[in-house]
């Protein structure tokens, strides 16, 4: 531990190679040994670009224009590329978002950890490397058995893969580690293990860490300091308890208002409008066109960084301290809840080859309501969702829609049944055909099921695009021209265009920013009310369940361990497994929410909260 900060970033500016237009501008922060700094903001805010700069790396088409990145007093920006490469893996480590892309699928994981040590450990012999490899695997809560060491990445769970990545990053005792969304897509229990490992190893070995994330609840639970980024600049920076406890910048406050809370069902308020594209920062305050407090000064003048209430702030009109307000949701019971369930699953058993994965699963969903399926990775919730929609056909039991049995396979179902049950995939980046325009993508299901003229198809496509809050000008765009949130809205529009009765959503918000997630959830709630949709919502975000679902099914090892109304299960869980899941949910600390907000009634079915 040293008296001076381990990492000092000063006025870092990164620009486009050809135009010299900056995408990151005047970014400054410090990180002490053993300290974790959180970089948060919406997609395109520049946080990943800043994180990669800590490794002396700029993406293709970008270059370092000004500023410095000093690690233990040594400016990385002044080193030659060969010297920087020697630092990577030894003194500077990186953990990417997707562990499957970080690990070589053709190599045993033990060999991959050993390879890091061989490259950076100088003259260490085989015995020393073996001992160090076993030590670092135990540090990330993995037992270095022969079975594990000889496993390929695809044979491990997502949490195990991420911990292998952490073991490789910490293997050489780096001075700095950069973590880029390392818990995205992980269930709450696995996420907690990963976060505890990061916190423990950083404190134990005096490692400075930069944690890039859009999940403010995770950041608030882990980091010591937080830097909020917007349009390539830090707009608020300080101790986490101060920035998240009493946010002063309207953007920070907007992000926090979009985070779901486990304590009560609240309306999630997304920030209206879109952030500027990288390199297209407008004149004046970049946030002015989305800020309710903006005036003429904000539009014409660029705010500078100043000290305000123990934090650095870039804003002309900061928010005074006070409580944050949220509208509370009060679910209402619909008249048809006592009738025949809209969707019912009974005694469902499913398998992959000879391996059983679902065991006697049963639940029902009322028309117009939302049922959440929650549980750890590998609990069987996605397989269950795929059985319902017909994408997995190796199952026995009974699935009924309005009393009519659904055949096991999608191909065995009639066009009417296929249209009535639609599926939204988890990853918006792989769910859309990159060679088709948005208009062609949404229109394809209408062409597949037929029954409409070309003019009627165009009218239906434009109508559903407006329903998901996208302009008709997007019809001619391609997926690569859209953000993650916009792509997910297109995927939802494609599912809605055939006017289904049941929409099955598989982790559709896991890769989205908090603000975009809020917009998607509120949009689904509105569409559900307008169309009378029945939702099956698969998620690992238990806090989100409060704000969208009326009933919940908790799954573990392919079985239902607990089910019932959301408020009953989350407020008074009966099973130890459910209690542990709830205990693992990260929570924003130090915030004061206004509990007397006006109620907003859900128009979907659900048990009325006492």
CATH number for position 415: 3.40.50.300
Determine, yes or no, domain membership for 344.
yes
Buried b (16+ CB within 10 A) or exposed e, 305-344: beeeeebbbbbbebeeeeeeebebbebeebeeeeeebbbb
Determine, yes or no, domain membership for 315.
no
Domain that holds residue 157: 101-171
Q: Which residues of the chain have pLDDT under 70?
A: 1-2, 122-123, 185, 321-339, 589-610
Buried b (16+ CB within 10 A) or exposed e, 555-580: bbebebbbbbbbbbbbeebeeebbee
Determine, yes or no, domain membership for 557.
yes
At 555 the pLDDT is: 95
Determine, yes or no, domain membership for 200.
no
Tokens standing for 233? 């600049």
**Contact yes or no for 208/176 (Cβ under 8 A):** yes
CA distance from start to end of the chain: 53
Q: Which of 29, 464, 379 lies closest to 209, judged by CA?
A: 29
CA angle 64, 70, 72 (to 5 degrees): 155
At 482 the pLDDT is: 83
Determine, yes or no, domain membership for 56.
no
Of 171, 194, 222, which residue is a domain's last?
171
Determine, yes or no, domain membership for 114.
yes
Determine, yes or no, domain membership for 193.
no
What's the structural domain count of the chain? Answer: 2
Q: What is the DSSP letter of 123?
A: T
At 378 the pLDDT is: 79
- The DSSP bridge partners found for residue 31 are 7
Neighbours of 88 (CB within 10 A): 15
Instruction: Say what the pTM is.
Output: 0.83
Q: Which of 69, 85, 96 lies closest to 168, judged by CA?
A: 96
Q: Round to whole Å and give the CA distance between 237 and 235.
A: 7
At 280 the pLDDT is: 84
Q: Round to whole Å and give the CA distance between 441 and 454.
A: 15
Determine, yes or no, domain membership for 160.
yes
């Amino acid at each position: 531990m040293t008296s001076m900060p381990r990492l000092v970033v000063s006025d870092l500016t990164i620009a486009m190679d050809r135009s010299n237009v900056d995408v990151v501008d005047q970014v400054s922060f410090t990180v002490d040994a053993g300290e974790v700094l959180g970089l948060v903001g919406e997609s395109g805010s520049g946080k990943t670009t800043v994180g990669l700069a800590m490794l002396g790396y700029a993406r293709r088409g970008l270059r370092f224009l000004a500023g410095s990145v000093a690690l233990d007093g040594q400016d990385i920006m002044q080193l030659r590329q060969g010297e920087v490469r020697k630092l990577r893996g030894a003194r500077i480590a990186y953990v990417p978002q997707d562990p499957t892309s970080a690990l070589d699928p053709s190599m045993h994981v033990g060999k991959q950890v050993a390879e890091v040590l061989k490259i950076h450990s100088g003259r260490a012999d085989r015995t020393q490397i073996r001992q160090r490899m076993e030590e670092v695997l135990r540090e990330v809560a993995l037992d270095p058995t022969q079975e594990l060491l000889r496993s390929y990445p695809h044979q491990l769970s997502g949490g195990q893969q991420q911990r292998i990545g952490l073991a490789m990053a910490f293997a050489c005792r780096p001075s700095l580690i950069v973590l880029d969304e390392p818990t995205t897509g992980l269930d709450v229990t696995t996420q907690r293990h990963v976060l505890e490992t990061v916190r423990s190893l950083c404190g134990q070995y005096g490692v400075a860490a930069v944690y890039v994330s859009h999940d403010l609840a995770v950041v608030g639970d882990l980091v010591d300091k937080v830097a909020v980024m917007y349009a390539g600049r830090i707009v608020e920076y300080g101790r986490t308890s101060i920035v998240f406890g009493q946010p002063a910048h309207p953007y920070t406050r907007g992000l926090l208002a979009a985070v779901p809370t486990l304590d009560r069902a609240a309306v999630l308020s997304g920030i209206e409008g879109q952030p500027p594209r990288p390199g297209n920062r407008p004149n004046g305050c970049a946030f002015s066109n989305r800020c309710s407090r903006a005036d003429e000064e904000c539009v014409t003048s660029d705010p500078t960084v100043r000290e305000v209430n123990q934090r650095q702030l870039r804003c002309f009109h900061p928010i005074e301290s006070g409580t944050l307000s949220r509208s509370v949701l009060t679910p209402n019971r619909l008249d048809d809840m006592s009738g025949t369930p809209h969707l019912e699953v009974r005694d469902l058993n499913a398998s992959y080859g000879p391996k059983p994965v679902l065991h006697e699963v049963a639940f029902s969903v009322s028309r117009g309501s939302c049922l959440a399926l929650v549980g750890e990775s590998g609990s069987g919730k996605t397989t269950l969702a795929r059985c319902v929609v017909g994408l997995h056909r190796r199952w026995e039991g009974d699935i009924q829609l309005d009393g009519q049995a659904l055949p096991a396979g999608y191909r065995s179902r009639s066009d009417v049944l296929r249209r009535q049950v639609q599926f939204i995939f988890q990853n918006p980046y792989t769910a859309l055909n990159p060679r088709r325009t948005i208009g062609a993508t949404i229109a394809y299901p209408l062409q597949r099921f037929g029954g409409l003229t070309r003019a009627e198809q165009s009218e239906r496509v434009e109508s559903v695009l407006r329903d998901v809050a996208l302009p008709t000008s997007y019809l001619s765009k391609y997926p690569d021209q859209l953000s993650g949130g916009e792509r997910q809205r297109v995927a939802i529009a494609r599912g809605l265009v055939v006017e289904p009765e049941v929409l099955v959503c598989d982790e559709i918000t896991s890769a989205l920013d908090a603000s975009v997630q809020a917009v998607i959830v509120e949009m689904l709630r509105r569409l559900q009310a307008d169309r009378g949709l029945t939702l099956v919502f698969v998620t690992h975000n238990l806090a989100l369940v409060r704000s969208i679902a009326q009933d919940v099914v908790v799954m573990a090892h392919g079985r239902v361990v607990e089910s019932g109304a959301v408020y009953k299960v989350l407020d008074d869980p009966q099973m130890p497994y459910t209690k542990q899941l709830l205990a693992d949910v990260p929570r924003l600390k130090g915030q004061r929410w206004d509990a007397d907000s006006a109620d907003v009634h859900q128009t979907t079915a659900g048990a009325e909260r006492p």
